[in-house]
Structure 1
Amino acid sequence: MAEFILTIVVEVVKCLVPPAYRQISYLRESKYTTNLQNLKTEVEKLKSERVRTEHQVDEAKRKGEEIEENVENWLAMANNIIVEADKFTDDEAIANKRCFKGLCPNLKNRRRLSKEAERQKEAVVEVRDARRFDRISYCTAPQDIRLSSSKGYEAFESRMPTLRNILSALEDPDVNMLGIYGMGGIGKTMLAQEVARRVDSDKLFDQVVFVEVSQNQDIRKIQGEIADKLDLKLGQESESGRADRLCEGIKKVKKILIVLDNIWTGLHLWAVGIPHGDGHKGCKILLTARSEDVLSREMDSPNNFPVEFLKEEEAWSLFNKKMAGDSVEGNELKEVARDVAKKCAGLPVSIVTVARALRNKSVREWRDALEKLGRPSLTTNFISIQSNAYQAIKLSYDNLQGEDLKKTFLLIGYTAIESIDELLMYGMGVDLFQGANNMEAARDRVHALVSTLKASCMLLDHTSKNEEFFCMHDVVSDVAISIASTRNVFTDTNEQVDGCREWSDGSAIKHCTSIVLHGIKTNLLPEVLECPQLELLFIRADPWESSSLTIPNNFFERMIQVRVVNLTDMFLLPLPSSLGLLPNLRTLSLCRCSLLDISVVGDLKKLEILCLRGSMIQKLPVEVGELTWLKLLDLRDCEELEVIPPNILSKLSHLEELYIGRGSFDNWEAEVEGVKNASLEELKHLPNLTSLELDIHDVSTLPRGLFLEKLERHSIRIGDRFWESTNIWCREFRLRLNNKICLKDSLIVQLQRIEDLDLRGLQEQDVDYFLNELVKVGSSHLKRLYMRSSHLALNPAESEV
């Protein structure tokens, strides 16, 4: 009855007093209900906009981009208004409270709440309409991980004056270049990194760039690293064109410090594209080198600072507290431990490696170590290694447990390899991993060995922080080469001028078991290499001189015991016929080579590993099908590979790892010169396959069922030529759907063990189907799930599991 009377009153007011109508209408229940419902509707719309924006923000952050400030502000504003509206609607029940024991509505509350609902609805609409962004995010230059933290740097008191002097010189407007020098392992790089961190945090420069140059200067790599730090794109092919583009980018930075670490010989800065001096007053260069002559004479650096050996107490502090632990203090080990620390002669790399090697050892082992450190150095040909440093690192080598660990250390040292893949290929070839009956077991062994060497400070983490890569300190590498040289290993570093000149003396290398030649520029190889005991041959040409270096046709005739042959960056048109005379060859690696006819490999009946990664080859010969004992075939980055004849891959019944991706072959079943290419169906005939990488651009070539349930690792990318770089060392599946394929099709892989799943081009009905399938098969291994709809109505979404 009360509501009926209220309705009559409202209508009368509407007719007699129109201005009062709006106010009194708030008392009506229908008006109140409408306002409340309108608020809820607009809040739901705003929530949808907020979710869409959050997804775009998350995707931008995964790409390493910074979020625009107005986007962050809008999200905060949207969150606040949504919280306020949700609280209001949750409390709206009070509008139904009545007075006079429920006989009359509470008109005062109703009017207030009705007006508030209308006000909040208008506020929500205003916030939603304010979502007008030109862009969500913007790219920034990536943060150099070496400059993000001072972890590992020791602020030794004896080095503080040097640090202060360097910082002072960098603030001097008349200084545009300065250097740091000292022997290998003394701590030059650590000091340079600390300088870079200090000037970066103190904003002395607008940009700080840290680049390692290393012994084998690679101009393109140096250019690329600087460009990455500046977020520049170098699209030019020639070094000079890239230098011009880099120079332009550097000049746009008002004040920039470029640290060039580990300079061995003079580096032409203008050839790299680094303006300095009058070319750009705001660009300063900090160099590190082992030799002051390199800095002052070859780089014309007038201000150079030496890094001295640690004082005795500093060395003891580092040895005891930082590496060996407090257990040395206050017990019978202290005296002998101090003597051991003294033998390290204040060289940080020696202190660290010895301290780690002796961790938790007995008193007898410490005394034995002290005796060994007192022996004279055997490194007469390695003048860059300080005697005590050699003995210290040699001691750590002697303390490695097991011959396989020692052989692995030496192999890494004298070949200069830096990846698990390379170590696996060469180690398998020389039978280093005895007892590992398959590639999977051998790969596990490699990871374990590398992990142990890192724990012993004989290997270092790679700067990329990728666990598939590692590196070795220069001084440690020199020691490895020195030790290996006493074991019939020949490297081109055995002579200071040119190790290759020993080819003229056949007796010098006749009894070698390993020969390693790096960066060869001229053709010094003999017509026939007589090395009947040779097991490993490793030749890496200078990539800019590869066309002038050839392999004589009879070169391999008299090395019948060889098990590993690596030829990198060479011009092999065709392969020498004598290569087919190697009955014991297990690993053949032809990386980044120019190849034409490689049919001779069909004669290598015991070959287990064939790597053509990055090589220029157009056709895989049918003779590859005769390699029935092949366990690993790597065809990644073979950009010109167009032909894989049918029934080759299916014959490789022992194949365990197959890599065809990253811009390589994608012409499955295509007809080339009247012959139809291999099909993906052939892979079903490989019963031992455990690792697979594939790029499949044409989804119509996809076989029924992708047989992935038996694979330990796989990276399958389907339906797109522009997938981002991915990680083969997990179980990954990436698919862009189109009208030829759908989630319900039996082509889709079994989902049980996938770790990284990326599906794009989804239809709305696909989402529920896919999630139901995941529930059915179980998803305990899933670590990353990414789904993107082909319709704007379904927003991109990614979740970490």
Structure 2
Amino acid sequence: MAEIILTIVVEVVKCLAPPAYRQISYLRESKYTSILDNLKTEVDNLKSEKVSIEHRVAEAKTKGEAIEENVENWLEGANDVIVKADKFTDDEAIENKRCFKGLIPNLKTRRRLSKEAERQKEAVVKVLDARRFDRISYRTAPEDIRLIPNKDYEPFESRMSTLRSILSALEDRDVNMLGIYGMGGIGKTMLAEEVARKVKSDKLFDQVVFVEVSQNQDIRKIQGVIADKLGLKLHEESDEGRAGSLYEGIKKVKKILIVLDNIWENLNLGSVRIPLGDGCKVLLTARSLNVLSEKMDCRTNFSIGVLNKEEAWNLFKKMAGDYIEGSEFQSVARDVAKGCAGLPVSIVTVARALRNKNIQEWKDALEKLGRPSSSNFKHVQPDAYKAIKLSYDKLVGEELKNIFLLIGYTAIASIDELLMCGMGLSLFQGVNKMEAARNRVHTLKKELFSMHDVVRDVAISIASTERNVFTATNEQVDGCREWSDGSAIKHCTSIVIHDIKPNLLPKVLECPQLELLFISDDPCETSPVTIPDNLFKSMIEVRVVNLTYIRSLPPSLGLLSNLRTLSLCRCSLPDISVVGDLKKLEILCLRGSYIKKLPVEVGELTWLKLLDLRDCFALKVIPPNILSKLSHLEELYIASELFDFADWEVEVEGVKNASLEELKHLPNLTSLELHVYDVGTLPRGLLLEKLERYSIHIIRIGDDEDEDEDEGWEYWESTGIWCREFRLELNDKIRLKDSLIVQLQRIEDLELRRLQEQDVDYFRNELVKVGSSHLKRLRMRGSRLALSPAESEV
């Protein structure tokens, strides 16, 4: 009855006093209910939008990107508004605000609540209207692991005065370049890293960049490292374009310190385009004062000497274990430490090699350290050579020793490279399968990949004297007697030549015992190396050939009947049909090479276990009935970061490309990397449950008017180290039911874009079927779904 009377009063006021109508209308229950419902609807909309933004923020953070301040402020503001609105609807609006035991409505309270509900609705709408952002995040330079505090760094007193002097020099306005020099393994890099960490923590510079130069200078690589650490992208192909972009990027930093570690010869800072001065300073390290003062014209230099007796002993104890002090080991251990001559690299390698060994092995080590060094390797001190040779002798088993030497003299830097070379040379004992070999390589990674350059030098020396290995740079080859007359080369088992220049290769390499050949052209050389037609004619035993930046393949390559691994990375090859003659080939890597067509002759390599076509951006033709013939294939990679082979089953240049149906004929396949644009090209029954590792991207293409540019295919990101990774972008033509997700087992990393509401239940059910217990990372992007955090990011 009260509500009826109130309704009549409101209608009368509406007619007689319109200005008062809005205020008195707040007293009606229907008005109050309508306002409250509108508030709840807008809060639900805001919650959905907030979850969507949070998904994008979480994804950006997994990429290491920083979040825009206005986005973080919006999320904070949205959360405050939501909390207040929920409290209002839960604690106040739902309560029965009546008086006289509920018989008569409390009009004063209703009016207040109606106005408050409308005010909160307006606040929610205002936050919703402000949700449009130009971008969610931005790239930041990745943190340099060298600049993270190092628990292994020892602040030796003999180094501290030098450290203080270097820091003082860096604050001197008149000093733009300074250097640290000392023998190999003395600790120059460790001191330089500590300088970099110190100036960063004390904020003496806005940016600190650490770059290892090494003996084989690579200007493009140096530029790339600096760019990466500054968060720059060098898209230019020409050297001039890259240099210009880097120069401008460095100039934008007000104060920057660039550390160039391990300089062997003159490095033209102008070629790199490092703008010395005007806020940019450079710290160099080198073994020779002559390199710093004469070749680099560096006038402020600091020498590092060996550790004193007590410092050497303390470092030795830390590496070997404190148990050696106060035991039967102490006397002999002190003598062993003394035999390392205060050289940190010797102390560390010997102490680690003898850790937990018995007293007899300690005494044997002491005796070996006392012998005269048999090495005259000019870059390594005799004491360092003996110490590192001792640690090499302590490696258990020939497999580990062989891998140690291989990493040393080839300068291999990745798991994939070691895997391909090791398999080609049959270094992994009792291993025939690629997946088993990959697991073996990972167990060796930590122990052998962190090679100090002095350790690498000793590995080269050992390989040279004990394994007949020849390794050199272009300058060392030119004028080398062994190379020119072939007297020593003839007996080599491995040859590694970096940055070779034109006309230095002989017409024929007479190497009947050769098992491994590495040749890399100088990528900056305008005149490419031409490999003589008969170079491979007398290499009947060679098992691994690695050619980098080469422009053509000679016909004699087809004579290598025992070849197991052929790596042709970053080459420009108009014709590679000669590989079809390599009937025993097991590994073919064409990564980053310029090839337009995979020749039909590849189908004759029926023993092939690994085929790598990653980053072959010019590849347009894969003829049919090639892949299906590779019945022993275990690993197949056809993808890249920026360009993908996409024209499956499409006619290109008069040839109809292969179908992915051919993958059904590869029963041994365990690893697959594949990007496709049309889900229709993916056949059913691919036996993907057998895959141990995969990275499959199904990418939408088209010109949809509502397409978000920020969600284009170029922003797809892999975790880098992938095991079982699946990326899928849905649209009107691609539904979740049509995808390969129903065939994928044990997914670890899953990303879905544009997932629709009708797909959610199906997705949950299928995720259970394929084994969601293995899922480590789940991302939803561009989906208008209010999923819980557990459903959006794992």
Query: Taking structure 1 as the reference length, what is the TM-score of the superposition?
Result: 0.89
CA shift for structure 1 position 144:
2.6
**Structure 2 unmatched ranges of 5 or more:** 701-712
Note if 1:479 corresponds to 2:426: no
1:478, 1:737 → 2: CA distance? 53
Report which stretch shifted further, 36-45 or 334-343. Answer: 36-45
Go from structure 1 to structure 2 and tell me whether the alpha carbon gap of 1:494 and 1:732 turns closer, same or farther (over 3 Å shift): closer
**Alpha-carbon RMSD:** 3.1
The Cα of 1:496 is off from its aligned counterpart by 8.6
Q: 1:227 — aligned with what?
A: 227
SS at match of 2:688: coil
User: Is 1:41 aligned to residue 53 of structure 2?
Assistant: no
Matching residue of 1:307: 304
Distance 1:5 1:796, change over 3 A: closer
Output one character per residue of 1:180-223: Cα deviation in whole Å (capped at 9) or x when no partner: 11222222122212212222222222222222212111111212
Instruction: Say if 1:520 and 1:542, in contact at 8 Å, map to a contact too.
Output: yes
AA paired with 1:418? A
User: Where do 1:276-425 residues align within 5 Å?
Assistant: 276=276, 280-321=277-318, 323-380=319-376, 382-425=377-420
Q: C-alpha distance in 1, partners of 2:749/2:95?
A: 51
Deviations 1:319-369 (A, max 9, x none): 213x22322232222222222222222222222222221222222222222
Q: What is residue 510 of structure 1 aligned with on the other side?
A: 490
Once the two structures are TM-superposed, the CA of residue 72 in structure 1 deviates from its matched residue by: 2.2
- Could you tell me whether the CA contact under 8 Å between 1:251 and 1:275 is conserved in 2? yes
Q: Deviations over 1:147-188 (max 9, x none)?
A: 243443222111111111111111111111111112222221
**Per-residue CA shift, 1:585-614, capped at 9, x if unaligned?**
212222222323333332322221122222
1:510-589 matches, within 5 Å, as 510-545=490-525, 547-572=527-552, 575-589=553-567
CA gap of 1:757–1:125, structure 2 versus 1, over 3 A, is closer
The DSSP-based 3-state class of the residue aligned with 2:427 is coil
Instruction: Measure the CA separation in 2 of the matches of 1:108 and 1:493.
Output: 93
Q: Secondary structure at the match of 1:590?
A: strand
Helix, strand or coil at the partner of 1:630: coil
Q: Which residue of 2 aligns with 1:217?
A: 217
User: What one-letter code is carried by the residue in structure 1 that aligns with 2:699?
Assistant: G
Deviation at residue 532 of structure 1 after TM alignment: 2.2
1:743 counterpart residue number: 736
Q: Quote the Cα distance in structure 1 between the aligned partners of 2:209 and 2:352.
A: 32
The farther-off stretch of 192-201 and 293-302 is 192-201
Between stretches 487-496 and 506-515, larger displacement belongs to 487-496
CA contact (8 A) 2:540 2:562 kept: yes
Aligned to 1:272: 272
Contact 1:213 1:261 (C-alpha < 8 Å) held by counterparts: yes
Distance change in 2, residues 1:505/1:46 (3 Å): same
Q: Residues of 2 paired with 1:41 and 1:779: CA distance?
A: 34
Taking a change above 3 Å as real, the CA distance of residues 74 and 621 of structure 1, as seen in their structure-2 partners, is: closer
- Tell me the distance in 1 between the aligned counterparts of 2:608 and 2:526: 28
Which amino acid letter does the alignment assign opposite residue 78 of structure 1?
Answer: A
Q: Which residue of 2 aligns with 1:707?
A: 687
The superposition leaves residues 438-484 of structure 1 with CA deviations (integer Å, 9 ceiling, x where unpaired) of 11112112222224xx2xxx431xxxxxxxxxxx2100101111111
Which aligned pairs between 1:1-400 and structure 2 lie closer than 5 A?
29-30=29-30, 32-92=32-92, 95-96=95-96, 113-114=113-114, 116-131=116-131, 133-276=133-276, 280-321=277-318, 323-380=319-376, 382-400=377-395
Query: Percent same amino acid at aligned positions?
Result: 76
2:714 to 719, 722, 725: 722
Q: Are residue 447 (structure 1) and residue 426 (structure 2) matched?
A: no
Counterpart check, 1:647 vs 2:632: no
Q: Which TM-score applies when normalising by structure 2?
A: 0.90
Distance 1:61 1:2, change over 3 A: same
Aligned residues: 777
Distance 1:326 1:736 in 2: 57
Q: Who is 2:747 aligned against? A: 754
Q: Could you tell me how far 1:297 is from its partner in structure 2?
A: 0.5
CA distance in 1 between counterparts of 2:250 and 2:372 reads 50
Whether the aligned pair in 1 keeps the contact of 2:418 and 2:441 (CA below 8 Å) is: yes
- Change in CA separation of 1:20 and 1:333 when aligned onto 2, cut-off 3 Å: same
Q: Aligned partners of 1:595 and 1:23: how far apart in 2? A: 82
Q: What's the secondary structure of 1:595's corresponding residue?
A: coil
Query: Contact 2:628 / 2:663 at 8 angstroms: preserved in 1?
Result: yes
Does 1 or 2 have the higher relative contact order (CA < 8 Å, sep 6+)?
Answer: 2
Deviation at residue 415 of structure 1 after TM alignment: 1.0
Residue 778 in structure 1 maps to residue 757 in structure 2: no
Partner of 1:467: none
Q: Which residue of the other structure, out of 652, 655, 672, is the alignment partner of 1:672?
A: 652
Instruction: Tell me if the contact between 1:180 and 1:306 (Cα under 8 Å) persists in the aligned partners.
Output: yes
- 2:449 matched residue in structure 1: 459
Tell me which residue corresponds to 1:463: none
CA distance in 1, matches of 2:574, 2:35: 78
Q: CA deviation at 1:12?
A: 8.6
| Superposed CA offset, 1:55-114 (max 9, x none) | 333333334333333332232222223223322322237742666666666667656555
Structure 1 CA distance, aligned partners of 2:678 and 2:473?
52
Shift of the 38–595 alpha-carbon distance from structure 1 to 2, 3 Å rule, reads closer
Answer yes or no: is the 8 Å Cα contact 1:706–1:748 preserved in 2.
Answer: no
